Structure 1
Amino acid sequence: MDEVEVVVAHRERATLRVGDVFLKIDADQARTDVEVEAMARAPIPTPEVLWRKPPALALAALPGTALGRLGEPSPASPAAWGAAGAAARTLHDAPPPPWPGRSLDDVASELDRECAWLVANDVLPADVVHRNRRVAEVALRPWTPVFAHGDLQVTHVFVDGDEVTGVIDWSEAAPGDALFDLATLTLGHGEHLDDVVAGYGADVDLDVIRAWWSWRSLRVVRWLIEHGFDPWPELAVLKAQS
């Protein structure tokens, strides 16, 4: 009999794996609604929905392995990173989903709130927070909304050799900034940024991508701590960015 593997678990959601089936249990069914609808609309490979019975969603495993992990060298080839960039471009060229995405005001407010929390709780030296805030503010500009994955981490992109076999975890999908997806994909893996941009096949503002690196890291540290995760990879990014 296959063993039950706990892939991730915290107060908001849990993901279990049994053989070739992933079982996602989410306290907020609106997130699952988004995930199912986004996968149906996405023009790139996604996991097959096997069944849904709230609060659970069963998905088939994708072939291949994750592109990499934050805080570890990626075993994937430059061509695989380029293929990930090309998949992102295909997604971004599709019509955006009809539900609302994060606004520029939301992004700015989150930056204010999380920087204040990091300083007040002595998580990072104030000068590191302030320097990253200045870097992050470059991302605070109008953008043309695209079909954005919203959480395009390296662990969410699966490859087999040099080919993308699918993308998982679509609960944050919404109209958004294309460069945020590219920044999330390359966070902590800046050595592969050129490969991703080459595969993406369009001019991008690298300063905005680096700004999103700082913004995402500043934003997520508190969540990681409060949900029992070690934020050292994001802290490393913030120290390097400063």
Structure 2
Amino acid sequence: MRFAAVLLALALAGCASGSSRYDRYARLLTPTATPSKVVATELAFARMAQEKGQWTAFRDYATGDAVMFVPEPVNAQEWLKKQSDPAEAVKWQPHEVWSSCDGSLAVTRGAWQRSNGTSGYFTTVWQRQKNGEYKWVMDQGDMVAEPLVEPDFIRTKIASCDGKQFPAVIVSPPGASIHKGGSDDGTLDWYVTVEPDRSRRVVARMWDGSAWQFVLRESIDANPS
């Protein structure tokens, strides 16, 4: 509160001395995207899994209403509290990050590996909390036949802040359930539709300044296990 009051006083002072100074301080008061912080959170999450246990880390970084798929959709905290940490935690690395313009929501995608030699990919949705830290609200993934190639650097993309308009409302197909969310500013959203056979479709959309673009579309086949 004290910091915000100081910034407000500086902004008002800047208004009296010229619009450029006012604009500079006004930007300090506006929520902004920080994909580097999302990456740092994802890496800390992965590190905690190795140091303190896989499900311990998942519990610590999840919100109270987070959803995961096992393969049916479940409340993550309810499911995780019944799980014991495996002897060896899965390892993972983020490859891509998409962030809303205001930084209130981000989506990460990357690769995971188990000690038994299997590998796959993951998709995680991160939501900024009131304290400024990120926690995940959706996590899902699947196995792949060939390990994903790790990029030279983690790719990041931020939604445009120009000409914002909220996306069309998504309605679940007949017989399917839907899990969805979006950023506070309406520049990034996600949804997962789950069919009765537990197959699912994962989508993330981003505003580019003139239209909505699909940045992520994944289909996971039915899995009886």
Whether the TM-score (by the shorter chain) exceeds 0.5 is no
Between structures 1 and 2, the one with greater strand share = 2
TM-score by length of structure 2 reads: 0.26
TM-score by length of structure 1 reads: 0.24
Between structures 1 and 2, the one with greater helix share = 1
The structure having more radius of gyration, on CA atoms, is 2
